[in-house]
Chain A
């Protein structure tokens, strides 16, 4: 009897470990998250490591509250869903997803796969090399696959998740194609878990649907932050993120800014100074052009 009690104590830890493993949670993180978990510090760009894939399983945001909620960061071997309600918000969702990809490439020299449908390219535009470059994501690391149908997109996505030569896969789907059901989502999640490649399912113009992703984010646009105290300008990209689903803990809402130079996230300041202030004042030595040149005219499309 005594012996069995003794064993039970040992088993308890083992059981916990097993449960954490089954649930795909890092050990020691309970749901709801306990503040006792030390959040990993913001990742600094360091010298490239030899084998990044074995180094760590989490991709921290570098934002304390958010990392804490996620149990340290986004899991690398998992599927994450990023969605935008409308087509026009799709650019914001693309931005957030691209920012995660950019974080993935820090200290990891493997390429990224971006697979998208023709319809998504038509509606939302194609990835623009110079823009990606400014954003902090090296376009040379990207392999872009444009497919005809969502079935093909899912197939390429799944193949990509199996490939150890990739740092991450971004799959972009528009609307609610029938092929992207719970089964397909579960398949992708399992592939990501087994392959160890992070999968980001970017869904444009999509309502919340049940899925097997480890996290699901709703991205809404938010006025950009400032850059170098130039309030009138459009500075760092910012988004309003709703963490709608989180297997590792509670959900929440965050306003994040993206520092494209340092490739890091930061909490956006609550009030945007640019909005509370009008544009720069007119210089005294220059006449107001708009007034002297005539009234404001609306140009219609001709032909």
Chain B
């Protein structure tokens, strides 16, 4: 079936009074302003599409020309397509001025094909659009009937009779093929219907035969719906438009109950619900809510939409009311019933899922996050914020925090050479550093891998508990501070952060973190220090750039705070 609005100026056409000058829409084509659409008055007075504006003005001087606005036209057509979903979920855009609706299995809901097309033909003009609609077996035949024939309904198997008197343009052919056919005297489709195919294909190209076959149903043609078809749909039409929130809620509840039965039969739950509200004036509002696990319970669904409505507040405009509501389930997932143990643990989990859904529906699902580890030694890249689903996936056993063995494992100190991650000196005391330097001559410039690995017996007590070497809170962007430190790689002595001066009483470090060379960015080596001022504020500072090798003026940043 095809709905076709032949004139984009349709809205104005119906409003025009006879006396007003002809209205045309012009756009620049082939180095001239040409008419791309015209209203009824203009058509009656002999203007036609493709005519230059100058020629049209020569015929009728008082002509009202407006510039074409393809973007707005496309948006309008998309809005009409939204509205047309009241007839079928399969709505495709057809060119710049047509819609293709696949009404297979939908016509009986309106009392039959004739009633459906009558409904469509009554509602569209009521909104101010001039439109033509036709139903046929194939998209090609419907296209031809809507544009070139008077009929609005082609009987099943009647495509051939329909096409016989129509011009070749009705076959959706390119202009040059139509012109080539015209040159050899072929004007009507009927002239080639029984002609041998091979010579025609050889002369005019394969597309002529393909279009003909598509129109006659000899070749399958699928339409390309704008939106994916939902797995399950429940909808309700109202004799009187509704506008009250309570009414909408009651509708959602009953639709959700219908869907719940269907979902249960399929052994599935919904991961997403979409509510489409069709306003009487043609505007369609869509609201979607996601769920963290498969859901069926109507009460839960209603609760999620209640949160959604609460967050929308005034944005949802009921206008003169909604005359149709549709609840669809675009995404489903297998739902195995949870076994509830005596302690009620399964209930708690379900509770949590509902909580996450509610929060997501109210303030946005992207704001409910979990932290998962990532394989990087750069602190800001060592964690990722993901939604709940991805987190459940990422937190599989075997992955642990920080890319390091779990705390209190003694192997932590053995630096991984490939990762660019070193623990130059855990304690930061000159003693430790001195020993390390003395032991390994190759590491003369401070890139000593590890004191603890070298001298385990020296600090036996170290093995009991690891210090807290990562801050509790991290700043998304390290904040620049003015620090005073000994060159080349001494710990900071005092620093100024957010206009306050902190004198450092104790510090530990450096922990050297080299940039990830494979990332090909301009990062410099960082020396991290854990510092504490006299009153007990604990900070994580780093110096960016190795003095004398990477920079002559290393910069200091505050990256996090310890609890």
> Contact residues of A with B, CB < 8 Å?
50-51, 54, 87-92, 94-96, 98-99, 110-111, 113, 121, 124-135, 139-140, 142-148, 152, 155-156, 159-160, 162-166, 220-224, 227-230, 232-235, 237-240, 258-261, 274-275, 279-283, 285-286, 289-290, 293-294, 296-302
A147 to B369, CA, bound (A): 11
Write out the residue numbers on chain A whose beta carbons fall within 8 Å of the beta carbon of B493: 296
Does B435 lie within 8 Å of A299, measured CB to CB? no
Q: What are 29 A-to-B residue pairs whose CB atoms are below 8 Å? A: A51-B345, A87-B498, A91-B537, A126-B473, A126-B474, A128-B560, A130-B373, A130-B470, A135-B472, A139-B371, A142-B370, A142-B371, A144-B371, A156-B362, A160-B355, A165-B355, A228-B465, A230-B461, A234-B532, A237-B562, A237-B563, A260-B468, A261-B466, A275-B534, A285-B434, A299-B482, A299-B483, A299-B485, A299-B556
Going nearest first, the 5 A-B pairs with the smallest beta carbon separation are A95-B563, A165-B352, A125-B473, A221-B536, A91-B561
Does A140 lie within 8 Å of B395, measured CB to CB? yes
**CB-CB contacts below 8 Å: B429-484 with A:** 429-431, 433-435, 437-438, 459, 461-462, 464-476, 480, 482-484
> Contact residues of B with A, CB < 8 Å?
343-345, 347-356, 358-359, 362-363, 367-373, 379, 382-383, 385, 388, 391, 395, 401-402, 407-408, 427-431, 433-435, 437-438, 459, 461-462, 464-476, 480, 482-488, 490, 493, 498, 500, 505-508, 530-532, 534-538, 553-556, 560-563
Does B563 lie within 8 Å of A94, measured CB to CB? yes
Write out the residue numbers on chain B whose beta carbons fall within 8 Å of the beta carbon of A92: 536-537, 563
**Known A88-B500, A159-B359, A221-B538; further 9 A-B contacts with Cβ < 8 A:** A110-B348, A127-B371, A139-B383, A146-B369, A162-B355, A165-B352, A221-B535, A289-B490, A299-B555
A202 to B556, CA, bound (A): 30
Q: Which of B434, B475, B534, B563 contacts A286 (CB 8 A)?
A: B434
Looking across the interface, which residue of chain B has its beta carbon closest to that of A275?
Answer: B505
A113 to B488, CA, bound (A): 44
Write out the residue numbers on chain A whose beta carbons fall within 8 Å of the beta carbon of B345: 51
Does B369 lie within 8 Å of A144, measured CB to CB? yes
Would you give the shortest CB distance from B430 to chain A, in whole angstroms? Answer: 5
Write out the residue numbers on chain A whose beta carbons fall within 8 Å of the beta carbon of B343: 50-51, 54
Looking across the interface, which residue of chain B has its beta carbon closest to that of A88?
Answer: B537
Does A125 lie within 8 Å of B407, measured CB to CB? no
Does A227 lie within 8 Å of B467, measured CB to CB? yes
Looking across the interface, which residue of chain A has its beta carbon closest to that of B487?
Answer: A293
Looking across the interface, which residue of chain B has its beta carbon closest to that of A272?
Answer: B536
Does A300 lie within 8 Å of B482, measured CB to CB? yes
A282 to B464, CA, bound (A): 26
Does B532 lie within 8 Å of A223, measured CB to CB? yes
Does B486 lie within 8 Å of A293, measured CB to CB? yes
Does B368 lie within 8 Å of A230, measured CB to CB? no
Q: Which of A129, A232, A234, A281 contacts B382 (CB 8 A)?
A: A129
Q: Which of B383, B467, B469, B486 contacts A289 (CB 8 A)?
A: B486
Q: Interface of chain B, helix or strand or loop or mixed? A: mixed
A235 to B356, CA, bound (A): 37
A297 to B349, CA, bound (A): 58
Q: Which of A129, A143, A165, A230 contacts B459 (CB 8 A)?
A: A230
Q: Which of A98, A297, A302 contacts B484 (CB 8 A)?
A: A297
Does B530 lie within 8 Å of A95, measured CB to CB? no
Q: Which of A90, A131, A261 contacts B465 (CB 8 A)?
A: A261
Write out the residue numbers on chain A whose beta carbons fall within 8 Å of the beta carbon of B471: 125, 128, 131
Write out the residue numbers on chain B whose beta carbons fall within 8 Å of the beta carbon of A293: 486-488
Known pairs A233-B508, A261-B408; A145 contacts B467 (CB<8 A):
no
Looking across the interface, which residue of chain A has its beta carbon closest to that of B341?
Answer: A50
Known pairs A234-B467, A237-B468; A294 contacts B487 (CB<8 A):
yes
A289 to B490, CA, bound (A): 9
A26 to B250, CA, bound (A): 45
Does B472 lie within 8 Å of A131, measured CB to CB? yes
Known pairs A98-B472, A145-B359; A233 contacts B506 (CB<8 A):
yes
Would you give the shortest CB distance from B286 to chain A, in whole angstroms? Answer: 23
Does B482 lie within 8 Å of A298, measured CB to CB? yes
Does A233 lie within 8 Å of B401, measured CB to CB? no
A85 to B556, CA, bound (A): 27
Write out the residue numbers on chain A whose beta carbons fall within 8 Å of the beta carbon of B407: 133-134, 261
Would you give the shortest CB distance from B462 to chain A, in whole angstroms? Answer: 6
Write out the residue numbers on chain A whose beta carbons fall within 8 Å of the beta carbon of B498: 87-88
A289 to B402, CA, bound (A): 33
Known pairs A159-B358, A260-B468, A261-B408; A234 contacts B506 (CB<8 A):
yes
A272 to B179, CA, bound (A): 97
Does B506 lie within 8 Å of A129, measured CB to CB? no
Write out the residue numbers on chain B whose beta carbons fall within 8 Å of the beta carbon of A90: 561
Does A280 lie within 8 Å of B429, measured CB to CB? yes
Write out the residue numbers on chain A whose beta carbons fall within 8 Å of the beta carbon of B555: 299, 301-302
Does A281 lie within 8 Å of B431, measured CB to CB? yes
Does B382 lie within 8 Å of A130, measured CB to CB? yes
A65 to B388, CA, bound (A): 41
Looking across the interface, which residue of chain B has its beta carbon closest to that of A232?
Answer: B429
Known pairs A133-B401, A147-B363; A223 contacts B505 (CB<8 A):
yes
A30 to B155, CA, bound (A): 90
Looking across the interface, which residue of chain B has its beta carbon closest to that of A285?
Answer: B434
Would you give the shortest CB distance from B232 to chain A, in whole angstroms? Answer: 28
Would you give the shortest CB distance from A202 to chain B, in whole angstroms? Answer: 12
Does B368 lie within 8 Å of A296, measured CB to CB? no
Would you give the shortest CB distance from B300 to chain A, in whole angstroms? Answer: 13
Does B482 lie within 8 Å of A144, measured CB to CB? no
Known pairs A143-B368, A283-B435; A274 contacts B506 (CB<8 A):
yes
Write out the residue numbers on chain B whose beta carbons fall within 8 Å of the beta carbon of A163: 351-352, 354-355
A90 to B538, CA, bound (A): 11
Write out the residue numbers on chain B whose beta carbons fall within 8 Å of the beta carbon of A162: 355
Write out the residue numbers on chain A whose beta carbons fall within 8 Å of the beta carbon of B358: 159
Looking across the interface, which residue of chain B has its beta carbon closest to that of A240?
Answer: B536
Would you give the shortest CB distance from A52 to chain B, in whole angstroms? Answer: 9
Write out the residue numbers on chain B whose beta carbons fall within 8 Å of the beta carbon of A275: 505, 534
Does A131 lie within 8 Å of B560, measured CB to CB? yes
Known pairs A91-B563, A293-B486; A299 contacts B553 (CB<8 A):
yes
A165 to B358, CA, bound (A): 14
Would you give the shortest CB distance from B33 to chain A, in whole angstroms? Answer: 49
Does B402 lie within 8 Å of A130, measured CB to CB? yes
A237 to B473, CA, bound (A): 14
Would you give the shortest CB distance from B434 to chain A, in whole angstroms? Answer: 4
Write out the residue numbers on chain B whose beta carbons fall within 8 Å of the beta carbon of A259: 465
A115 to B530, CA, bound (A): 27
A274 to B506, CA, bound (A): 8
Does B430 lie within 8 Å of A134, measured CB to CB? no
A279 to B349, CA, bound (A): 51
